[in-house]
Structure 1
Amino acid sequence: MKKTILLSILAVAVTAGCTSSETRKRASGNFDYLEVTEAQMLKVPDDLKRPPLSNRYELPEAQSPHKILGSDVLIDSPRLVLPLVNGSHVEEGSEKATVLFDQIDDSKPLDTTIWDTVLGYLEVNNIAVESFDRENNTLVTDWVISRKNIDSSWYEFNEEVTEQARKFKLTVDVAPHGRTAKLNVENVAFVDENGDSQLANISPFELRENEVNFLNYIIQEYDFGIRLAQNERIALIRDGFQSELGFNPDGDAAFVVDAAYENAWPRLLLVLRKMGFDVIDLDQSSGLMFLKYNGEDRPWYSGIFSDEKLDLDKVNYRLLVQAVGDKTAVTFKDSDNKAFEVKQATNLFTVFSEYMAEENLDI
């Protein structure tokens, strides 16, 4: 009995060892249909009338130059483009290795962001650039070397590695409005492990796999870059900014924050809440906030150690936020859109600057 079980286990192991990962990707079984020849036309004697013929079930000629028959038929799932980046998506029904990006960061043009990502990925992975036409938004890589282990039987302990080389052409197509761009990857050259050029002989399935895999690596790099930039920006905003009394571009008394507009804006939302303002409405594109003052959000014991408080009526106010170079001007106004006088702004500045500079500000 034990001997029978042992032999069964060995038989299963040998069978599994004979099935490679490459074999499992392809159709298997009976391929007798490859030996079938076309049937001859019906022969009708001369003295009989030929019946009407129909081409209803006639199979069209294959459009692909590749004869994909028998074991050449791949049965595993095709490679899919993975639009991991916020604002990215794929074209429905497209067979190309293409992804579309929407503009998320307005600090620089979308095509510049894409090319910075591509060049960064190539540099990190030591992939040289054969040509780069920035004006026409096209780039051709140098040889991209891939290494693959050759499948061996389960009882063989040595592993053989083969090397293949590919070149890719990347194209960026920017929409006329500049807010969406399409990145396409095309495999333009392929050399097998024997050093022979085989691009013309690659099946459409393998060609798509090559292109989509390379594109997905770039998408991952794009996503990593966005998340890294967001984390750095969040850390910068939480650390706080210094500010000083000054004037806005219109000459009104204002608080000049030592931060770029896109960083000062979200920080202001935290500061205003701590100062006791509720934001009723806001429009970041125009730099306007509509506020209501409800009283400063300070602990009950803070008045024991400090006399600082806001001398403001609990009514509605307005806030004008303006970019001034690499700094930001914040102007407090009353409900009639009249800017605070210098004295009134000065009385407000101490509390404002304290919260604006406070690290890890929490609401």
Structure 2
Amino acid sequence: MKLSYLALALTAATLAGCSAADRERASGGFDYVNIQPTDTLTLPGDLERPERDSDYAVPQTDIKNAPIGQRVNITAPQQVRPLGLGSRVLETETETRAYFDIVDGMGDSVTEFVKEAAETVLERRGISYDVQSDGHWLTETMSLQQTLDGEGGFLGFGGEEDKLQERTFRYEIIQETESHKRTTSLRVNIDNFTQKVDGRTVDVAPVVGNNLEADLLNAIISEVNRKQQQAVAQLKAEGIDTQLTQQSDSGENILLVEDSFDQAWPLVNLALQSIGFEVEDLNRETGTYFVSYSEPDSGFLFIGGDDYEPLNIEEGEYEFRLLESGENTAVRVYQDDTMVSEQWLQAVYENFRAAVKQQSKL
């Protein structure tokens, strides 16, 4: 069986008087485990024994194999943190699952985006894995070794010897995507988990496995967030693009700004002004800019003239109406309540596209 050994830097912890494993058990002495139960209270014969309230009776249980003293694991459960935009966590008694909704920067497939992030984390940690099926990975078996400090003695003499603890396990990663393809989920399971102390197999507290699962899931969530923010920054550096296209359902010619309405609304305002349209009024509720256009004035000896190129369109008043179109924003242009021609849009398109791209970079 191939093992991947995860080395732990325990030297500093040992010099400080405790190892990483010591954080899993309480500090102080454990003499209390040898305390015997006290005898039943003996009453003099002339006193009446009070009735015992069963509400506070301690039930008889078999604690022979239960962890006590040093064997009690006090590790705090690690929380899965949905740090990424569009991510959330659903926790039940049996599993913790992270959900990712598709957001800007993820491209066309949130499934592929999250899958690549998970594989990046595994490769960064040097963990080999096999793809069992679509959305199902199993890693190699790994070994995590720690030194357990011995207890008792005086100045290091006469106490228990240090023990070697070895935990072996592998990760199982399962990804499931909703039928609408806009949401995918990820969960991490610990498989074949065993623990040995000096070669002897001992029980493992459930919290240990849960924390290992949470640790990897948090790392993947962080990587998804990092990749998404990096992609958004790159898109911003490239600027927001605009297409001259035709609506498939209505056949209308439109300008399609490749961003949400909330982002496109202020950008269109600035872009219109930079290419020669004067915004005279606006109504955000209806997504409308009321503008007028006049050819640029060259000024006297090129001093004080307008600083935009002529669009070679009819001067007058126009309405630019913005409407959400999926993840993008459709821009329709009207003159006297009639949509302008395709030739009009072609005359304006390149200048409008360049202006929107430039404003989105600022």
TM-score, normalised via structure 1 length: 0.64
Question: Identical aligned pairs, as a percentage?
Answer: 20
CA 1:361 to 1:17, structure 2 compared with 1: closer, same or farther past 3 Å? closer
Residue aligning to 2:236: 234
1:104 Cα deviation (Å)?
3.2
Letter in 2 for 1:229: A
Partner deviation per Cα, 1:69-124 (whole Å, 9 max, x = no partner): 223334554322222112333346x5666243241338556555433432343344
Give the conservation status (yes or no) of the 8 Å contact 1:140–1:169: yes
1:344 Cα deviation (Å)?
3.7
Residue aligning to 1:203: 205
Give the conservation status (yes or no) of the 8 Å contact 1:147–1:162: yes
Given the alignment of the two structures, is residue 171 of structure 1 paired with residue 169 of structure 2, yes or no?
A: no
Q: Distance in 2 between matches of 1:80 and 1:210?
A: 11
CA 1:140 to 1:58, structure 2 compared with 1: closer, same or farther past 3 Å? farther
Given the alignment of the two structures, is residue 339 of structure 1 paired with residue 336 of structure 2, yes or no?
A: no
Letter in 2 for 1:340: V
1:167 Cα deviation (Å)?
0.6
Match of residue 273, structure 1, among 256, 263, 270: 270
Paired residues for 1:319-338 under 5 Å: 319=322, 331-334=332-335, 336=337, 338=338
Residue aligning to 2:119: 119
CA 1:281 to 1:73, structure 2 compared with 1: closer, same or farther past 3 Å? same
Given the alignment of the two structures, is residue 221 of structure 1 paired with residue 223 of structure 2, yes or no?
A: yes
Paired residues for 1:137-152 under 5 Å: 137-146=135-144
Residue aligning to 1:355: 355
Partner deviation per Cα, 1:222-273 (whole Å, 9 max, x = no partner): 21222222223222325x56x66x7554444555x7x8x4589956852442
Letter in 1 for 2:237: A
Give the conservation status (yes or no) of the 8 Å contact 1:318–1:335: no
Given the alignment of the two structures, is residue 86 of structure 1 paired with residue 85 of structure 2, yes or no?
A: yes
Partner deviation per Cα, 1:39-73 (whole Å, 9 max, x = no partner): 55668999x99764443333357799973322333
| Greater displacement, 201-210 / 17-26 | 17-26
Aligned length in residues: 320
CA 1:163 to 1:201, structure 2 compared with 1: closer, same or farther past 3 Å? closer
Give the conservation status (yes or no) of the 8 Å contact 1:97–1:211: no
Give the conservation status (yes or no) of the 8 Å contact 1:290–1:319: yes
CA 1:208 to 1:322, structure 2 compared with 1: closer, same or farther past 3 Å? closer
Gaps of 5+ in 1: 1-14, 153-160, 283-287
Q: Distance in 2 between matches of 1:274 and 1:65?
A: 77
Q: Distance in 2 between matches of 1:116 and 1:65?
A: 48
Given the alignment of the two structures, is residue 133 of structure 1 paired with residue 133 of structure 2, yes or no?
A: yes
Give the conservation status (yes or no) of the 8 Å contact 1:317–1:334: no
Letter in 1 for 2:132: F
Partner deviation per Cα, 1:187-242 (whole Å, 9 max, x = no partner): 112356889695x621223222222212222222221222222223222325x56x
Give the conservation status (yes or no) of the 8 Å contact 2:84–2:224: yes
Q: Distance in 2 between matches of 1:82 and 1:42?
A: 52
Residue aligning to 1:6: none
Give the conservation status (yes or no) of the 8 Å contact 1:187–1:211: yes
Match of residue 192, structure 2, among 189, 197, 218: 189
CA 1:104 to 1:339, structure 2 compared with 1: closer, same or farther past 3 Å? same
1:185 Cα deviation (Å)?
2.0
Greater strand percent: which structure?
A: 2
Residue aligning to 2:22: 23
Q: Distance in 2 between matches of 1:306 and 1:51?
A: 102
1:321 Cα deviation (Å)?
7.6
Q: Distance in 2 between matches of 1:201 and 1:146?
A: 15
